[in-house]
Amino acid sequence: MKPARKKRLFFIIFLITGIAVAAGFALYAFNQNLMFYFSPSEVKQGKAPVNKLFRMGGMVVEGTFKKEKNTLKVFFDITDYEKTVTVEYTGLLPDLFREGQGIISRGKLNSDGIFVAEEVLAKHDENYMPPEVAESLKKAKK
């Protein structure tokens, strides 16, 4: 092989290896960071992992919202009208959070079966229902 060609071959191999490493790396990160969605029913059926981040959505049950005095900790139940899971959250709630509203929260299930949320999302539209929530409500009704 001519030296110039050899060089070019090395270069191409180097480039392809680089892309392969990057791709493998991206896929690994991808697998590590996939976050699944579960409805309260699925959580109660034990389908959701304990101590691993996932998302859960549903309606905030009327009359269950409680604030802890002197801290920012709050508790509320969310439901798909089939099963209900208690959520614990510390911090500022989104503008549109209220009882009877559909929300999505991201967090981990602790050993007591309480969902400890890191983030609570409510949508910026009065009529809006997160599609995941709408679907789990539909499923639960069947």
Give the interface with another protein as residue ranges (CB under 8 A): 7-8, 11, 15, 18-19, 22-23, 25-26, 29-30, 32-37, 55, 67, 69-72, 90-93, 95-96, 106, 123-126, 130-132, 135
- Note whether 87 and 78 are within 8 A (CB): yes
| Between 49 and 91, CB nearer to another protein | 91
Nearest Cα residue to 57 out of 81, 42, 37: 37
Contact present, 101 and 118 (Cβ < 8 Å):
no
Q: How far is the CB of 97 from another protein (least distance, A)?
A: 9
**Residue number, 93 or 140, with CB nearest to another protein:** 93
In the three-class reduction of DSSP (H, G, I as helix; E, B as strand; rest coil), residue 15 is classed as: helix
In this structure, the chain runs to a length of: 142
Judged by CB, which is closer to another protein: 79, or 102? 102
The Cα–Cα gap between 55 and 106 comes to: 4
